[in-house]
Amino acid sequence: MKPDAIDRALSRVLHYRVVVIVLYALLVPAAALLAMRIPTEEGIERLIVPSDPDVRATRAFHATFPEPQLALLVFESPDPWAPQSLERVDRAKAALSQIPRVTAFTALDALRRAHPGADPATLRDLATRTRFFRSQGLAGDNFMTVIANFDVHGAAERDATLAAIDKALARADAGPVHKIGSPYINAWLEHAAGSSATRSFAIVAVLLVTIVLFLFRSMRALAAIVLALGSTVALALGAGALLGYAFTIVSALVPLTVMVTTLATLTYLHSRYVDQPDDAPLAEHHVYALRSKLLPVTASTIAAATGFAALAVSKIQPIRQMGIWTALGLLISWVVAYTLFPALQRVLKTPTARRIPTRTAVYDRVAHALPTLTYRHRKTFLVAALAFCVAGALAITGLPGVIRSLPVATDVLDNINSSSAVARDTRWFRANVMDLNVARVWIHLPRATATEPEVLRAIDRFQTSLEAVPGVTGVTGPTTPLRMRSYLAGRGEALPRDAAGFATAAQDVEQLMLTESDLRAFIDAGGLADLQLTILFREGHAAGYAALIRHVATAWAATVAASPALVGASMHVVGEALLDAKVGESLVPTLAESFVLTVVVILAVFLVVFRSGTERLLAMIPSLFALLVTFLGLRLFGGTLNVATIIIATTVLGTTENDQMHFFHHLHERPGASLEVRLHHTLRVAGRAIVFATVINAIGFLGLATSSFPPLRQFGLMTSSAFVLALIADFLVLPAALWIASGERPTSAGQESPTSQAPARQQAPLPSPRAAEPRPTT
């Protein structure tokens, strides 16, 4: 048969193989250099898309009131006011104060400033007669806290400061300390995510060498696959660098996802390449092998890339970037698979099965028995699969009044290894001190009147209203330093309510702002038109935050109505805690929207590739079965939806549809033959590659199971399980469904297929997978 344009294009790639390799030799190092410059971003505001109104408001707030990085160093003691306990805290505070960019503060500082020379008993009395120190986590019945304020920028400075704090505490002989706060949590998360990706890459590299050598038994084949794979990952990362992307907790999965998916594609191509018939010259066979896989590889790549791109609907910035980045990487992998990889096969002279047989004896025996087995148990396999799918769907959505929906991880401790020191310290702090949920209330005035007595009196009433909100454990604001000054002077904590008395109490606010940094944290000294209050509260999830915002809005409306000084002022609830809550709130919509879009995209691809409407629906069975049963397992083992497991739907559907594409493509290579013959042919030609690719995918993602980062560990275990489940469905459930849909019976069952005629049956003993197919010439 005369070669067409596609055959000629493939032949040219092989003919100009040296030129192709040289071009990649120039591109890949440049891409690798770009990849090395990809930054790492850890800020919580970077988890939400920049266009989100709360992100914009929080960034504007930070321009006026930067949220400090605070580390709480809590010293536990049966009697925190005993002389030896106070001495221990003083030593620690003095050591911390010597660290550059660190300011240390304790409750003792405020007490001793008001009462110099006071003895421990007096200090205890002053601290325990007010709720302030307890509500702020500064002192309690069995603890004293040193607050370290970091003036650092970026993860490197933060980590260096944390290390300096550890050394300072050791020099001060401070003893056991509970280390609390976002600097410790963020440092742990970034280290865990980064080390997990590195460890997974190392595991995949070892497994890659082992699997390729075991399956193909050739160092040349290993070299071709490794070089093509490394080039794909480098080019994908370089493309991400050009787009301005950064590594985050989620997008760190991009290199692994691209690598494992590309490796599966290369396995499909090489499995077809090594299957060289005795009567086919290698040059002709090579073009044929590439051409025969062009449609399923192209269709599956487009479906997978579009499926990952569907994650762009997410409001979570790293998930959105991860989807687009991975989609771009998959398109790059297609180009590499049909240019660099065949060029490497030809230059390296990778052997086919005629020279080095692949290890397929066990598989061949199993595959030979599958058509009869799946026919015999077709109803059992299909009904069981559908039942598991229904159970998996209920595990996700729940059943009103009977089963709760799959829980969403909104607590930061859900993302931290429970045995880590930071998790233990945070749990202790929550149980013995308070929750660390923080909301910032930003008030912008129409004029520079922030220090005027009537404005401060209205803000003080607003603060009092907020303190009465259920679930609020403490509120600090512009009048808090005035309240503390009044209390420590023996006049009580409450400020005067009448205008004249309040004006007297607040008459020196502007002078205090020059000396008191605490006051400048609540009033913008530059413009005197912005103020902020800090709320500590218990319920830090999305619903709790929404309830708090409603209470704040109600209190603000009442305050403004009674305070002419606040006419024209605006109020916004902002801060990193709000953004954190929005991340959790966005997880379920991300799962639902990306799942629906991915299914629609894959069905659209199937609509183009497959002519039969029945086949389009049947082709979805293995992927849906794998996905839903995986979520059933997640529910049964107590897992949750989080920033990593939320992308499983797209990952599983976008990757496993590869198998169905190849399965049905080769099923159509025997037109007119009985289903039994077509199944034998498909299992012979595509089945081995499906098994090889699944093993590679499953083991590759299983490398994440070694992670100390719970979301990545869950993602690795779930994704690996899904790949194995999809393989089971490919070989058992899908053929069973095809038997039922066709109404045929295998000849081994005693009857001929009613739709098969004698000529088609005579094709059953096929000498090679290409016996009835035309071959292109080169």
- State how far the alpha carbon of 507 is from the alpha carbons of 353, 495, 503, in Å: 92, 13, 6
At residue 512, φ and ψ (nearest 5 deg) are: -65, -35
**Tell me, what's the pLDDT at 13?**
94
- Which segment of 134-148, 220-234, 316-330, 408-422 scores lowest on mean pLDDT? 408-422
DSSP 496: P
With cut-offs at 50, 70 and 90, classify the pLDDT of residue 697: confident
How much is the pLDDT for 311?
79
Which position has the token pair 């805290």? Answer: 89
C-alpha span between 528 and 615 (Å, rounded): 69
CB 359 within 8 A of CB 215: yes
Instruction: State the pLDDT at residue 544.
Output: 82
* Pairing outcome for strands 570-574 and 437-444: antiparallel
Contact 664, 609 (CB under 8 A): yes
Cα–Cα distance for residue pair 231/31, rounded to 1 Å: 9
Mean pLDDT of 62-79: 88
Q: Which pLDDT value is given to residue 731? A: 93
Task: Output the 3-class SS for 563-632.
Answer: CHHHCCCEEEEECHHHHHHHHHHHHHHHHHHHHHHHHHHHHHHHHHHCCCHHHHHHCCHHHHHHHHHHHH
User: Could you read off the pLDDT of 124-160 as tens digits, one per residue?
Assistant: 999 998 988 988 889 998 999 999 988 887 778 888 9
Burial class (CB in 10 A: 0-12, 13-18, 19+), 492: exposed
Measured at the CA of 762, the angle between CA 759 and CA 767, to 5 degrees, comes to: 130
Of the candidates 476, 483, 482, 477, the one whose C-alpha atom is nearest the C-alpha of residue 510 is 482
Which of 415, 348, 381 has the alpha carbon at shortest distance from 584? 415
- The answer to whether residue 753 scores a pLDDT higher than 50 is no
CA distance 111 to 123: 7
Q: How far is CA 252 from CA 215, 246, 653, in A?
A: 29, 9, 20
Q: Helix and strand tally (H, E) in the chain?
A: 33, 8
Separation of alpha carbons 22 and 35, rounded Å: 20
Is residue 479 helix, strand or coil?
coil
Identify the helix (H) or strand (E) that includes residue 383: helix 378-397
Query: pLDDT value at position 358?
Result: 64
Q: Mean pLDDT across the chain, nearest whole number?
A: 84
**Which tens digits make up the pLDDT trace of 333-363?**
999 999 999 999 999 999 987 777 666 678 8
Say how far apart CA 535 and CA 524 lie, in whole Å: 18
- What tokens appear for 115 in the block? 């009462």
pLDDT in tens, 26-36: 999 999 999 98
Q: Report pLDDT for 449.
A: 93
In the prediction, which pLDDT does 412 show?
73
Distance from C-alpha of 272 to C-alpha of 681, rounded to nearest angstrom = 13
Write down the pLDDT at residue 666. 83
74, 178 contact by CB (below 8 A): yes
| Per-residue pLDDT, 593 | 67
d(CA 731, CA 367): 9
- Please report which helix (H) or strand (E) contains residue 162, including its range: helix 154-171
Asked if pLDDT for residue 253 goes beyond 70, the answer is yes
Q: List, for residues 165-204, the tens digit of each pLDDT value.
A: 999 999 999 889 999 988 898 888 777 766 666 666 677 7
Does the pLDDT of residue 310 top 90, yes or no?
Answer: no
Nearest to 465 by CA among 360, 561, 578: 561
Mean pLDDT value across residues 550-572: 94
pLDDT band per the 50, 70, 90 thresholds, residue 264: confident
DSSP label at residue 530: E
Given a contact cutoff of 8 angstroms between Cβ atoms, the answer to whether 235 and 35 are in contact is: no
Q: Of the given ranges (84-88, 180-184, 252-256, 412-416), which has the lowest mean pLDDT?
A: 412-416
Is the sign of the CA dihedral 350, 352, 353, 359 positive or negative? Answer: positive
Q: How confident is the model at residue 47, as a pLDDT?
A: 59
Instruction: Give 502-537 pLDDT, tens digit per residue.
Output: 999 888 888 888 777 778 889 998 889 999 999 998
What is the residue type of 332?
I
**pLDDT, tens digit, 9 for 90 and up, residues 484-503:** 989 988 888 889 989 999 99
Residue 276 burial by CB count (10 A; 0-12/13-18/19+): exposed, middle or buried? buried
3-state secondary structure of 443: strand
How far is 211 from 696, CA to CA, in rounded Å? 8
Give the tokens for residue 94: 């003095």
Q: Residues of 737-769 as b/e, b for ≥16 C-beta within 10 angstroms?
A: bbbebbebbbbeeeebbeebeeebbebeeeeeb
The CA-based angle 765-769-774, given to 5 degrees, is: 110
pLDDT score for 303: 81
Instruction: Determine the pLDDT at residue 3.
Output: 67
pLDDT of 643:
66
- Whole-number pLDDT of residue 404: 85
Check residue 228 and give its pLDDT.
96
Count of beta carbons in the 10 Å neighbourhood of residue 469: 17
Residues in the chain: 778
Closest CA to 325 of 410, 381, 241: 241
Q: Which positions ≥6 away from 106 have C-beta within 8 Å?
A: 89, 93, 138, 144, 145, 146, 147
DSSP 684: I
Return the closest-CA partner of residue 734 out of 671, 693, 682, 670: 682
pLDDT above 50 (res 108): yes
Q: Is the dihedral of CA 304, 309, 313, 317 positive or negative?
A: positive
**AA identity, residue 499:** A
What is the per-residue pLDDT for 425? 93
Residue 478 per-residue DSSP state: T
Q: Comparing C-alpha atoms, which of 563, 560, 526, 559 is closest to residue 448?
A: 526
- The reported pLDDT for the residue numbered 762 is 35
The residue type found at 300 is S
> Using CA atoms, how far apart are residues 449 and 457, in angstroms rounded to an integer?
12
Question: CA gyration radius for the chain?
Answer: 33
Do the beta carbons of residue 261 and residue 652 sit within 8 Å? no
Amino acid, res. 175: G
Q: How confident is the model at residue 234 (pLDDT cuts 50, 70, 90)?
A: very high
The mean per-residue pLDDT over the stretch 457-467 comes to: 95
Q: What is the average per-residue pLDDT within 350-377?
A: 83
Minimum mean pLDDT range among 304-313, 455-464, 605-614: 605-614
Report the candidate in 41, 43, 40, 29 with the shortest Cα–Cα distance to residue 579: 43
The encoded tokens of residue 497 equal 């309510």
Query: Half-sphere exposure (CA, 13 Å, Cβ side) for 721?
Result: 19
Please state which of the ranges 47-61, 259-273, 318-332 shows the lowest mean pLDDT. Answer: 47-61
CA distances from residue 661 to 233, 304, 606, 687, 734 in whole angstroms, order as listed? 24, 11, 8, 12, 12
Provide the pLDDT confidence category of residue 587 given band limits of 50, 70 and 90. Answer: low
- CA–CA dist 555, 548 (Å, integer): 11
Residue 441 dihedral angles phi and psi, to the nearest 5°: -110, 115
The secondary structure of residue 523, as a DSSP letter, is B
Q: What is the mean pLDDT of residues 305-329?
A: 83
More confident residue, 252 or 185: 185
Q: Is 87 exposed, middle or buried (0-12, 13-18, 19+ CB in 10 A)?
A: exposed
- Mean pLDDT of the region 659-684: 86
Question: Looking at residues 359-385, what average pLDDT do you find?
Answer: 89
**Signed CA dihedral, 264, 266, 268, 270: sign only:** negative
CA distance 94 to 102: 11
Q: Dihedral of CA 224/226/229/230: which sign?
A: negative
